[in-house]
Structure 1
Amino acid sequence: MKPAATTPLFAGPFALATLSEPASPAFPALVLPQGSALDLRAVFAEPTLTIRSLLESWAAALPRLQALAEDGDQAWQTLEGLRVHPPVEPRQVFQSGANYRQHVIDLHVAHRAPDDALSPEEARAEAAALMDQRAANDLPYVFLGLPSSITGPFDDVTLPYSVEKPDWELELAAVISRPAYRVTIEEAADHIAGYTIANDLTDRATVFRRDMPQIGTDWLASKNAPGFTPLGPWIVPAGSLPNPDDLQVTLKLNGDVMQDESTKDMIFSVARMVSYASQYARLLPGDVVLTGSPAGNGMHWGRLLRDGDLMEGSITGLGTQRTRCVAESS
């Protein structure tokens, strides 16, 4: 039977997760907001079922999952004692840069050249004008990340000894349900199964190629260390979040609030981001589209990640991830 209700873990009647018992393989699970889980391999009679394969038949699976969430006779178990893995293993990770107005303004000021003649106030005004122009006339900035950078929502994050300026970037992530290629903004929502939380860690020291400025940004070096993208804990179906463009994104560092902004501050909406990425690449079931990070990163506060730091990232309706930083010895 389902356990008694407690404080809900997420919005809506159910979510998806990838879980495991100690020393056992991970399994795809249906999770209820009060904290019970159901192994979907037995229910679907598919021993090799994964969340990604479930998403590949999302239209057929969704009504079945909705019915299971109401079925008290299933073999529900408590989440206690289970490890929570990244909810899905994507084949592709689409990342977004410069998609929150205040964040971009902060970075514009923080990354100014030493000989920039503008005052901080003038630099902020300049950046604000650029953001207004960009929202009206420009396109999203999307690049690719590596699936190997993904780690679980409660796993330790190793800070490589070679990383000089590790920073946090909490983000809303859309999870793709069916292939999307050259879809319109209006069609994009039909290709999103649900949403989860991502923390897109970045080494600010290697974002720009100082040896060849003409090349611009170096996302391989700055974002793709193993474990630099904590993902999860849950995939909450899109139907449980009717307005992804109005969710509060909050990151606490050792209990102190560092990021606390609504997705309303995004320059480009979730649907526009997915549509844009699909103009150049074929998005596949289980792929994740990160939608950018709001203001309040470490560069803004002058305080970057250190050994022992605890990051707690939450987004309205999606739950909370908690990851501790562990410094790698050289």
Structure 2
Amino acid sequence: MKLLRVGPPGREFPALLDDTGRLRDLRTVVDDLDAAFLAADGLARLAAVHPDDLPVLDDTGLRTGPPLRPGKIVCVGLNYRDHAAETGAALPAEPVVFLKAADTVVGPDDAVLVPRGSTKTDWEVELAVVIGRQARYLPSTQAARDCIAGYAISHDVSEREFQLERGGQWDKGKSCETFNPFGPWLVTADEIPDPQDLRLRLWVNGVLRQDGSTKDMIFPVVEVVRYLSQFMVLYPGDVINTGTPAGVALGLPEPKPYLAAGDVVELEIDGLGRQRQTLAPA
């Protein structure tokens, strides 16, 4: 299933994209796509509903919001071999973990705001994992696989000066408002049989900047989920950003082409749809 939420910011409602590309209204079946929906085995309930029994929506002018109201956002840094190499970092022996504020999440085509004083706003296309059941001290990667509800695109926007030059931890360069466009869809795990065989691409003003594959991950998706569960409880609705491939502005030669107001960023991942954002001043 491809699940999404549509409507004005703060007033989104759940919908389904059927196999013919038509949008179906889910309000007769579920209240919203969130932690409570996932915890109550909502995906199984939806799987039992035939799309033809759902009203067709007119999507003309209809905004696509984030496909889920997330709990916490857990991020893995330096998880692609080529990205670690371009930044001059050694390959990590264990996943590099940081948190990103959940209120950074916006729709896949919403504006991204360049923070006040920023000169190093950067792009990062990432595969996002959505947790569907509680994950606590998972004993194996198979147990981790069973906890995954599905996948989506995350744009892990980063301000590199805030992240790397202002002291402290990475979070201050990762949690600026609008710094996590998410979606367009939550694609259920059954539609993505191998999350380690997905192509990720990102363009800035039409120029291809990132073109990688999840095959290049140092720590695969299921190992990331298993690993994180040893340090924190993952709940239904939590999101994991699993890292980015090479091609970010930070890794390019000087003068590095960091983002500015007016720039347009487009992202896509195989089977998960496409995003498009225009940068604007905060």
**TM-score bracket for this pair, using the shorter chain length:** over 0.9
Deviation for aligned residue 1:30: 1.8
- The 5 Å alignment of 1:130-169 reads 130-131=90-91, 134=92, 138-169=93-124
Structure 2 CA distance, aligned partners of 1:106 and 1:307?
25
Question: Per-residue CA shift, 1:12-54, capped at 9, x if unaligned?
Answer: xx3111111x69932122222443222322134xxx4434322
The 1:306–1:174 alpha-carbon spacing in structure 2 relative to 1, beyond 3 Å, is same
Normalised by the length of structure 1, the TM-score is 0.80
- In the alignment, what sits opposite 1:17? 4
- In the alignment, what sits opposite 1:195? 151
If you compute each CA radius of gyration, which structure gives the higher value, 1 or 2? 1
Structure 2 CA distance, aligned partners of 1:258 and 1:172?
16
Aligned equivalent of 1:62, options 43, 66, 70? 43
Question: Per-residue CA shift, 1:266-315, capped at 9, x if unaligned?
Answer: 00000011111111111111110010010000122321101111111100
Aligned equivalent of 2:227, options 253, 265, 276? 276
Normalised by the length of structure 2, the TM-score is 0.92
- In the alignment, what sits opposite 2:194? 243
Structure 2 CA distance, aligned partners of 1:24 and 1:259?
31
Structure 1 CA distance, aligned partners of 2:67 and 2:104?
14
Structure 2 CA distance, aligned partners of 1:49 and 1:252?
32
Structure 1 CA distance, aligned partners of 2:199 and 2:9?
36
Question: Which sections of structure 1, spanning at least 5 residues, go unmatched?
Answer: 1-13, 109-126
Does residue 205 of structure 1 match 2:185?
no
Q: Which amino acid aligns with 1:303?
A: P
Structure 2 CA distance, aligned partners of 1:33 and 1:307?
37
Classify the secondary structure of the residue corresponding to 1:207.
helix
Counting aligned pairs with the same residue, the percent is 39
Structure 1 CA distance, aligned partners of 2:32 and 2:159?
36
- Structure 1 vs Structure 2 CA RMSD: 1.8
The 1:73–1:185 alpha-carbon spacing in structure 2 relative to 1, beyond 3 Å, is closer
- The 5 Å alignment of 1:9-48 reads 14-20=1-7, 25-44=11-30, 48=31
Deviation for aligned residue 1:66: 2.7
Deviation for aligned residue 1:141: 1.2
Classify the secondary structure of the residue corresponding to 2:47.
helix
Classify the secondary structure of the residue corresponding to 2:86.
helix
> Which protein has the bigger helix share?
1
Q: Which amino acid aligns with 1:64?
A: R
- The 5 Å alignment of 1:103-114 reads 103-108=83-88
Does residue 88 of structure 1 match 2:92?
no
The 1:153–1:187 alpha-carbon spacing in structure 2 relative to 1, beyond 3 Å, is same
Structure 1 CA distance, aligned partners of 2:44 and 2:132?
14
Structure 1 CA distance, aligned partners of 2:239 and 2:157?
16
Whether the 8 Å contact between 2:210 and 2:247 is mirrored in structure 1 is: yes
